[in-house]
Amino acid sequence: MTNQSFDPQAQAEFDRYAGSYRDMHASSVAVSGEAPEYFAIYKQKVLERMLGARFDRPVLDFGCGIGNLTLHLAKSFETVHGYDPSAESVKLAATRAPKATFFHETEALPKDHYGAAVIANVLHHVPVADRLSLLRGVADTLAPGGRLIIFEHNPWNPVTRHAVRSCAFDDNAILLSPREVRRLLKATGLTDVELDYIVFFPRALAFARGLEASLRRVPLGAQVFAWGVKR
């Protein structure tokens, strides 16, 4: 597995956008009424529920960008690593999440090591033909019993499609259907593959967010949350 698993053009774009990424992200999700931090903390809480508050195995945030999720994972879990092909993004992430360890080269990632590897809103930036090889490479970093966890945009949600269209660094994004996410996890060789829908209500309907857990099978959530286990 090498950095060529990512589109070199996309790497250059994220280097260029690193300093302005948060503001651009905030603009694209403004329709939700929430700041980018809301979505990072949402994922943090989802992972805490899945893995357990006392999860003591190392966690990898693969494609960590400027560390929006990494800094929250480092509050929840003892050992957190981040990887991103954008050197400029990694520099920023390291200042924002000093408790985490960061990598810019995939060759430096340990093999058979992590209890969980998280790929949050990354795959839609990866060329379609390269997605399976990338996931297999990430799976190689997992210890037996480790979980490969994917968060992705749900193209069936109109608000999500609007957010993607409004975001400059998503110009070349190709969204994955939930079916494709499942297929990729199974093709990677993982077992116990599952997929839930998450993020249903904007800030204006925050009073209804307590219902989200019961809606996890309803294919209208703004994002999907999927996982598989390495045996």
Q: How many domains does the chain have?
A: 1
Among left, alpha and beta (phi > 0; psi -120 to 50; other), residue 104 is alpha
Describe the chain by its helix, strand, coil percentages, rounded to 5. Answer: 50, 20, 30
The pLDDT tens digits for 70-99 are 999 999 999 999 999 988 899 999 999 999
Mean pLDDT score of the chain? 90
Domain that holds residue 22: 3-229
Lowest mean per-residue pLDDT among 20-29, 91-100, 185-194:
20-29
Give the CATH number, domain containing residue 44.
3.40.50.150
Q: How confident is the model at residue 172 (pLDDT cuts 50, 70, 90)?
A: confident
pLDDT (mean) for 169-190 = 92
Instruction: Quote the pTM value.
Output: 0.90
Note the maximum CA span of the chain: 46
The pLDDT tens digits for 104-125 are 999 999 999 999 999 999 999 9
